Structure 1
Amino acid sequence: MKNIEFHPAHYDSQGRVKLPLLFWCVLLLQARTWVLFVVAGASRDQGSTLLNLFYPDHDNFWLGLLPGVPAVLAFLLSGRRQLFPRLWYSLRWLLILAQVVLLCWQPLLWFYGEPMSGIGIALVVADIVALLWLLTHPRLRASFAIEKD
């Protein structure tokens, strides 16, 4: 028997819990360096200017791609999560770990001399909210649960 703690609209046609809309926003937040990379690549002429604006230190750019890897993996696997149930289940914990890394990274940059900015503070606040949401949202937790037949 299916779990009935959610509204019937929260299930897809196969009876799986749909991923919440805010989940996609959290993935974009985690993959922000990947999004910048794609936008810079698409804007050809201004691409290097755009990358230098957000990442004047190129080492930080390459390091910024690492915490976004679980988010990119979640984007790719979300449509086929039933084919890789154990990987999908463990992906939630990878997303939480990546969110903790992102949350600690910005204050660490400030500690090492990068000036504080409004964008940096907004990203830290958004990272805190995203981490709390990843840890506590019941529908998200249910969508990552391993289905028992």
Structure 2
Amino acid sequence: MLMAGMLVAGSAMAQDIVRHKIPNSDFPIAQAVEIPAGKTTVYLSGAIPSVVDEQADRSSVAAFGDTTTQTVSVLESIEKTLERLDLTMGDVVKMQVFLVGDPENGGRMDFDGFMEGYTQFFGTEEQPNLPSRSVVQVAGLANPGFLVEIEVTAVRP
């Protein structure tokens, strides 16, 4: 009886995060994520892109690249921050994405460019865990050259 009780308690403690797929869809986000009690939640502040062209004006899109380039840069920065915290991209459960309208895209956000960068990090064979996610177009970010800012919430396994 004691052994059965310990097994039940052990399985409750080992409960995993549940990621609910969008029904009838292969879109690479989770419709919802359930986090069991007792997990530690880690909130990362918004991350911004790195300079890719040292010769370009630091307040220009040219200094940071297009939406795809900026998305990859931001996600690499997030990945490094997570690693310093002993976490991985697979531990991300929620993502909020802020995209500025791209002048090269008629002032509309480049969602396809964002997805090109995003799918290099999420929903891959190496990292299949998908976060719940929102993507919004904003009027501007802290630097006029930024097209992308991303903040994430991760859960310590």
TM-score normalised to structure 1 length: 0.30
Higher Rg: 2
Which has the higher relative contact order, 1 or 2, with Cα contacts under 8 A spaced 6 or more apart? Answer: 2
Task: Name the one with the larger helix percent.
Answer: 1
TM-score normalised to structure 2 length: 0.29
Task: Name the one with the larger strand percent.
Answer: 2
